[in-house]
Structure 1
């Protein structure tokens, strides 16, 4: 993955679309430390795209019996 993609910040609607979870489910998992926490962008928040993608890959691997 290139450096630009690694540093890309995405907002909640895109996070939700990528992982198939709603806002409440995402924030519950953040509270449980099972989902990447957002970073502060002034008054707003965003997620590092690579962290969200890795989380998704981990979920797929766990479901498929991978490591």
Structure 2
């Protein structure tokens, strides 16, 4: 993945990802769980921040949104 000149990656916690995507916390964990019927292999992999905390790169979340838009538009 390439990062644009004006794009500075940051780490988003789950509450920011849910707000950005407009989905619930449980939907995120369903998308991450290969055993879930709602599993989505295109959803960004989280980064471990500590023993019990994870986050996502903002650039990965934005790329996921762009992919969803492209799929909707048939590109």
Do they superpose with TM above 0.5? yes
Structure 1 equivalent of residue 72 of structure 2: 63
Question: For 1:36 and 1:24, how far apart are their aligned partners in 2?
Answer: 15
Aligned-pair RMSD on alpha carbons? Answer: 1.7
TM-score normalised by L of structure 2: 0.74
Higher helix share: 1
TM-score normalised by L of structure 1: 0.82
Instruction: Choose between structure 1 and 2 for higher RCO, CA contacts under 8 A separated by at least 6 residues.
Output: 1
Count of aligned residue pairs for this structure pair: 65
Structure 2 equivalent of residue 41 of structure 1: 49
After TM superposition, the runs of 4+ consecutive aligned structure 1 residues lying more than 4 A away are none
Structure possessing the higher radius of gyration over alpha carbons: 2
Structure 1 equivalent of residue 8 of structure 2: 5
Give the unaligned 5+ runs of structure 2: 34-38
